Amino acid sequence: MAANPNNEKQTISYSTTNNENNIEIPSRPKPSTDNDPQRTISDITFELNNKEEVEELEALKSPSMSRVESGKCECCGMCEECTEEYIKGMREMFLGRLVCGICAAAVSREMEKNGGKKNEALEKHVNCCVKFNKFGRSYPALYQAEAVKEILKKSSKKKGKHLNVF
C-alpha cells in the first residue's frame, strides 16, 4: 500500500504473466471478487457494526425486563417462576398475598359465587388449601371420603332432605 499526499490509502495490485522468453509482463489489476481480502474485511466490519447496533437497541429495551425469581403461593404452597412485576401485581390484586395462577382462578370463581367479596373468597380458598395440605396429602383416601361426605351434605340441603351421614 502507498500513501498519497492527502493521507488516503490506496491499494495497488499487479499480476504478472510469463511469455515465451520468461519475461514478466505486468497486467491490469483484476476486478474485485467476493473472495477479495479487502471485501472480506469490509463484510466483517459491517457485520460487527450491525451486531453492536443490535446490542445497543436490546440494551435500551432490557431495563423493562426484570429478573425472574421463585415465588411460593401462600395458598397451596406451589412454587413458580415469576417476575417482580408479576409478584407485585398479584399481591395488589389479592390483598397482599402471593397467589399462583391456579389459586387465582379458584378465588375468582369463589368471588362469582359469593357476590364479588374478594376477602371472603380468598379466606375460604386459603382455608381449603390449608385443610388439604394438612389432611389430604397425608391421608388421601380419608380426604376423599371427607369430600364425598361434604357433597352429600350439600346435595341433601338443596333437596330439603336431611340425610344422617356419619
pTM of the model: 0.48
Q: What was the pLDDT predicted at 103? A: 92
- What does the pLDDT average to over 103-130? 91
Q: Which of 108-117, 123-132, 135-144, 154-163 has the lowest mean pLDDT?
A: 154-163
Higher-confidence residue: 153 or 60?
Answer: 153
- Distance between CA atoms of residues 78 and 69, nearest Å: 14
pLDDT tens, residue by residue, 110-119: 999 888 889 9
Polymer length in residues for the chain: 166
Q: CA-to-CA distance for 158 and 150, rounded, in angstroms?
A: 13
- Domain ranges for the chain: 68-159
Rounded CA separation 49/57 (Å): 12
Q: What confidence score (pLDDT) does residue 108 get?
A: 92
Closest of 134, 96, 91, 128 to residue 109, by C-alpha = 128
Q: What is the pLDDT of residue 77?
A: 87
CA–CA separation, 17 vs 26, rounded Å? 7
Query: In 10 A of CB 100, how many CB atoms?
Result: 20
CB hemisphere CA count around 19 (13 angstroms): 6
The pLDDT of residue 150: 87
Residues 6+ apart with CB under 8 A from 46: none
Q: Is the dihedral of CA 145, 146, 151, 152 positive or negative?
A: positive
Looking at residue 106, what is its pLDDT?
93
pLDDT, tens digit, for every residue of 130-140?
Answer: 888 887 777 87
Q: Do 124 and 118 form a contact (C-beta atoms < 8 A)?
A: no
Q: E strands along the chain, which residues?
A: 2-3, 9-10, 15-18, 24-27, 68-72, 79-83
